[in-house]
Amino acid sequence: MSDSLDAYLILAGILFAIGSFGFLARRNAISMLMSIELMLNAVNLAIVAFGMFGPHKDATAQGAVFALMVMAVAAAEATVGLAIVIAIYRNKKTPLVDEYDSMRQ
């Protein structure tokens, strides 16, 4: 099993589906951010797996470097996202996204 690309890709697909469910279904904004992190991890796993089985010699290192870049971007995304959630929480006093309806007229 550890020698087949399919296993890693299906694993990444399942993790991505779990993350997308959490993003669509949870009410808490921080839960939604955690689901986004799950999805980013799934994509990272797929990238590393593709690099692992890549066609030429440098593909493994390139996939790993790309995954490192994705990790850094995920860190930036988490910082800004959580800052936005805290800023909204300071105004609305709730972390639940379905009560953020002040832009609805």
Partner 1 sequence: MRAKLPQIIVALLIMGAVLGIAALMLLALGQDWQDALLWILAAVMIGSGLLVVTMRDIIRCGLAMIVCFLALAGIYTLMGVPLLGAAQVIVYIGAISVLILFAIMLTQTKDAPTRLVFQTQAGPASIAAVVVAIVIALAVGSTDWGELARRTRLGTEVMSRILFEQYVLPFEVVSVLLLAAVIGGVFLAKREPGGPS
Nearest distance, CB of residue 105 and partner 1, angstroms: 21
Contact of 95 with 87, CB cutoff 8 Å:
no
| CA–CA distance, 60 with 28 (Å, rounded to integer) | 38
Q: Of 78, 85, 87, give the one whose Cα is nearest residue 37.
A: 78
**45 phi and psi, to 5 degrees?**
-60, -40
Nearest distance, CB of residue 88 and partner 1, angstroms: 9
Scanning residues 37 to 66, which ones bind partner 1 (CB under 8 A)?
A: 37-38, 41, 44-45, 48-49, 52-54, 57-62, 64-65
Binding-site member from 79, 102, 103, 105 for partner 1 (CB under 8 A): 79
Nearer to partner 1, 68 or 104 (CB): 68
